[in-house]
Structures are given as structure tokens and as C-alpha cells.
Structure 1
């Protein structure tokens, strides 16, 4: 099986789409697939078309209905190839309604299959495009399970480090935790906040940098390579997600769970698909709820340990990357079979 992955980002990008593409690529290769990745943000359309034509794949697999999907749609029409699209978040929640809607609709309608990370994304797509729901399959994200050193449970009232891994763009809402954590820091001086992630929206990033000057307990660490993120997860006590939307499953949330870290996350569909209240983490809806639950986590190391271990067990049992890649390979075979049957 020869597969072209049409990726909005790939390398050296460190955002969620890039992490997803690299993980799927790696595990497809382990299953014997010939895979080539074409990075939309680094290649002109003519160059991409020529590269795909030279590789002569059996099908195209695009990520994001707009960023990867519109390119896959154009190439597929030119080369008469089937394609599928993995929906990654803002394509379903934003690009179906904003100025990108025409291209996004065309790309989705041309795909043989669509993939959602969770059933609720499939349902939401069906609200916009009812005919697309029956062509959509659910394949959960996978996550690597790292080996972890044995660490003692920290004593009461020691320092508590909150880690917020997120690209700097408005949808990630990274300014939200600053004020409630500042109030907690006044009571518990050992509280710290570390923000890590690439600058995606320069204007929003400037707002974040200005705000951080008012909160000395918080630091922005910049972009950290995915391979180095493990050390940050291990050093953190609580991992945050403050996103306004998530397209099914945040890589950062899954990775935090794989490192046995408790989570405090916004009560949105994408986070609810993974986090169960007081079992693998905590969900918040407003500033007051965030403050109360952050204080509980900061002052109860036994709670942090229990939530973290539950989370690691969850991703070990339900989200292995091998299962994710096997599901994609099975889907590829189905698509190629459909095309052969149609052309027979």
C-alpha cells in the first residue's frame, strides 16, 4: 500500500496536526506501508502535484478539511485518485462556517471517507452536512506510552507546577488561567505556571507576552521539541487545557495522561471525550470552578497521584498508536477496494 499524507504541518512544526501526522506515519511504516508526507505549508501546489504524481500512490490521506483537504481534492481531481480526510478540529468548528466554507465543503464532499476522532465530531459534521455522516468513520487518536521513573508522592504544600502546552492562538485561550492562578499564588507561593508552545498567531502572542509581565509566577518557555516535552510533563504536577474548542482529542491531553499527570481542562466536547470528572482529571466551566479545582489539585498530592495513574491506565488500554494505525490501514484497503469495484 502506497499512501501520500497531505499535512498542513509536519516538520519541524510542533503543533497538534504535526504530532498526529508524524505518529501515524511512523506506525503505518511499521505495518509495511510505503508512506510519503507532503507538507502543504512548505510546498507550492505545482511542486506538490509533481511529487505526488512521481510517487504514484494508491490513495491520498489529508489532515484538516481545509488546510489539507482542499489540496487533496485538487490533486485527486487532476490524478484521478481517491482520498480521505481526517477532521482535526477547526475544520468542523470554524472552517465550515467562515470564509473557508466553500473550499472546505468541496473537499469534504469529494472524499471517499472522512475520519473523526470521536463520535460527537461525526454528529456535529452531520448537523452541517447530513450526507457526510454516513461516510464518516471514528478512529480515536493514539498516544505513545513512555516508560516512567518511580517517583515518590510529593509531600503536602510543596511547590505545585501547572503546565499549559498550547500553540499561541486565540482558540487556545491561554490567558484564562493567569488571573485565578495569581490569586492562588498569593495564598500558596509555591504555585508556578509554565506555558509552552509555538507562536501561531503573532498578534495574540504579543498579548500573551504583555500579560505575562504582570504575573511573575508564570513563564513562557517558547517552542519545545516534541521529543523534549517528556521532561516537561514529568516535571509538572498538573497539566492544563484552556481551549475553547478541541476537534475530538487533544494530543497534549493524551500525552499528559500517558505521563500519569492529572488534568484540569475546559468543559468542552473534545476534553469530555477523554477526561472523566474526578477519575482522570477535572473539568471547569468558569473562573470560580477553575480556582476551586486548581486549589484542590495543588494541595492534595494523593489526589494528583490517583488521577494520574487512572489516566495512564486509560490511554494504555484505549489509545495505543498501533491500534490507530491498523484502523487506518483497514480503511485504506476498504477505499482501494471500493475504487477497484467501481472501475471494474
Structure 2
């Protein structure tokens, strides 16, 4: 029975800080914290087209090995060099941990783990893609996606609902429910009241996140609440069209596009905002940006999508239908009701403190590694 420190080979499309996003931050924090526990962690990833980055880098206690991206299809990085890296390294590690069955690198991890008879775990960061068409997803999830997930010795899901979705799609691998983690010391409210009247969006500017729906909803608010500003944090292919939309609505002076901001900058952004709006089409569970906002006592608005645990979400926010009119109604409700906004902010932070501790996330994940290795 193995009880010694583990050698962990993590495989992911991108990681923080090169790419700011939920999966990348999750991978970075997990790798950093497991390294602090004494485990040997190596992360195989892509350069995302940036040839200036070193192929191998040691940082925050873990090793990062980058591979050349040769193409990007439907927001999916294709880096064939990872095949050789996986095959050569697989038997030198106790476990392979791949992230999201939607990624090319996870498909390859599943294949190589079978060839080398290696232990494989996969974190489900959402069953559905925010980028691919519905028809492509149906075919993919019934074939390659299903085969990838069923090759895992364990699958990690954030919520019981996410687990149920996998079972509904005939995924038979053992599943562990382990919540995502948030650092409540970094993401915390300030004692002083901020007078900024600001609505916030955080995410990649692509169709699946639907930032255009928020802009249209905000456009309905400006006559009633001329002092409110909309801050949009993130970058992506929709940026030019979103700026054009702001000009068409004559709200360009009230909307700020910041581009991507660093993880360290985000706590202040949440604190300066009255509320967060995320009109996304699909998520793995309650999104990381919502939990970060809650940790700063900032309430949130989201569509009532099937992956969301509505009972939990309503403790820190309002669910709407995701349309511009639905967003308008929900934002207006929170703007008008200071007490509701304060209550949702307070209970949202309590939810994060109770349910989304990073220490517990890492501990449970690592315990599952040992179970898999010792089977």
C-alpha cells in the first residue's frame, strides 16, 4: 500500500497566469498546493501559440512542460507533442490527472493511459462546451467524449447534479464529488464601503458566455440609472462586435473593457462592484468567478441552467432566464433593494467559507489519488 508522497502528472490545455480562466487557475492552485504537501507535480500543457515561453519551467513548487500549439479548433488547443511526453513519462508517475474530457490533451491522456496501463483521473469541468455547436457536441459526447470519461479510474465532479448528468449519458466510471476551491483570505470584502456604482462581467468574450445579452440588458437600464457603469473583464473573439454593440446602444461611455486582468487584481474588482452578471449558456457547476464574487460579498445573477444547484445559488444571487429582459429585471431588482443585495452578499460569502475551502478540495483530491494507486 502506497502512503509515500506521490508523483503526479497533470495534463491540461492551459494554466494560470498565461491564460486567465477557471480551469487554468484551478490547475495552478491544485499543483501549487500539492507541491507544498511534498508531492512531485509535473504539468504538461501547451504554449497557446506563444513561442517566447520556455519549454520547461519550474515555478511555485511544480514543473511546467509546454508543447507547441499547431492549431486551435473550436477553442481547443491541438498540441501533438504531448503524445510523446505522455508516453515517455506515464510509467514514471503514480497517476495522470487530466482536466476536461472536452480537451484534445485529455483524449490523448485516456489513450496513453490504456497503452501504458497507467492510473488516470479526470476532472469534469462541465459536460457541455461553450463553443462547439449542439450537433457537434451530441456526436462528440456519444463517442470520443464518452470513451475518454469511461477510461478514467475516477472522475471528479463539483456537484451531485454534474454527476447525474454524466450518469444520464452512460458514463460508468467511479465518480467522486469534490467542490472547487476558493481562497477566502485573498477574496474577502473590505471594511470600507465603496461608492462605485458598477455592474461586473468576468469571462472569456465568446458566444457561450453571452456578454452581448448583458450589454443589451444594461442598455435598458441606463436611462433609469445613469450613474451605473458596466465593467467587462476578459478578452476573446467577440470583443470588436461588443464594442460595436455599445456604440449602437450609445452606451460606450458607460462600458469599460479591461481585457484580461491578473488573479491578484480581481479581488479589488469584485469589491468595487455592486453585483456580478454571468449570462453563460453552460458551466460545470457554480462558476469560479461567482464564488470569488461571493467571497467578496458581491451577489451574482445567472441563468437557471441545468448544471447549477439552484438552492445553493439563491443564497448568494438571483437566477434569471438569461435574456436581456430577464437580466434587466434581475439587475434592477438588486439595484433597488439594498437590503437584498447586502443579504445575498453576506450569505454568499458564508456559502463559500463553508463549502468551497481549497484545503479540503486538495485533501480530498489527494486522498482519492491514494485510493486509485492502491487498488
- Counterpart for residue 126 of structure 1: 167
- Counterpart for residue 301 of structure 1: 338
- Counterpart for residue 161 of structure 1: 198
How far did residue 104 of structure 1 move? 1.8
Q: Is 2:249 the counterpart of 1:208?
A: no
- Counterpart for residue 28 of structure 1: 34
Cα contact 2:44–2:82 (8 A) shared by 1: no
How far did residue 130 of structure 1 move? 4.8
How far did residue 153 of structure 1 move? 7.3
Does the residue aligned with 2:221 lie in a helix, a strand or coil?
helix
Spell out the pairing of 1:287-326 with structure 2 (5 A cutoff): 287-326=324-363
- Counterpart for residue 108 of structure 2: 71
Q: Which has the higher helix share?
A: 1
Does the residue aligned with 1:36 lie in a helix, a strand or coil?
strand
Q: Partners of 1:130 and 1:51 in 2: how far apart?
A: 24
Cα contact 2:190–2:271 (8 A) shared by 1: no
How far did residue 16 of structure 1 move? 1.4
Scaled by the length of structure 2, what TM-score is found? 0.81
Q: Is 2:25 the counterpart of 1:15?
A: no
How far did residue 275 of structure 1 move? 4.5
Cα contact 1:281–1:307 (8 A) shared by 2: yes
Does the residue aligned with 1:185 lie in a helix, a strand or coil?
coil
- Counterpart for residue 179 of structure 1: 216
Point out which structure has higher relative CO (alpha carbons under 8 A, 6+ apart).
Answer: 1
Cα contact 1:116–1:122 (8 A) shared by 2: yes
Q: Is 2:7 the counterpart of 1:2?
A: yes
- Residue segments in structure 1 that go unaligned for 5+ positions in a row: 339-344
Q: Partners of 2:347 and 2:325 in 1: how far apart?
A: 26
Does the residue aligned with 1:227 lie in a helix, a strand or coil?
helix
How far did residue 246 of structure 1 move? 0.8
Per mean C-alpha deviation after superposition, the further-off stretch among 326-335 and 20-29 is 20-29
- Counterpart for residue 143 of structure 1: 182
Q: Partners of 1:5 and 1:130 in 2: how far apart?
A: 22
Cα contact 2:285–2:309 (8 A) shared by 1: no
Moved runs in structure 1, 4+ residues, more than 6 A? 92-95
How far did residue 83 of structure 1 move? 0.4
Spell out the pairing of 1:245-284 with structure 2 (5 A cutoff): 245-272=282-309, 275-277=312-314, 279-284=315-320
- Residue segments in structure 2 that go unaligned for 5+ positions in a row: 1-5, 49-65, 68-78
User: How far does the alpha carbon of each residue in 1:190-246 deviate from its partner, in whole angstroms, 9 at most, with x for none?
Assistant: 1111111131xx2x3332232132322222111111221112111111111110111
Q: Partners of 2:335 and 2:43 in 1: how far apart?
A: 42
Per mean C-alpha deviation after superposition, the further-off stretch among 324-333 and 30-39 is 30-39
Q: Partners of 1:197 and 1:264 in 2: how far apart?
A: 18
How far did residue 106 of structure 1 move? 2.1
Does the residue aligned with 2:205 lie in a helix, a strand or coil?
coil
Spell out the pairing of 1:220-231 with structure 2 (5 A cutoff): 220-231=257-268
Cα contact 2:299–2:316 (8 A) shared by 1: yes
Scaled by the length of structure 1, what TM-score is found? 0.87
- Counterpart for residue 93 of structure 2: 57
CA RMSD across the alignment = 2.3
Q: Partners of 1:268 and 1:165 in 2: how far apart?
A: 18
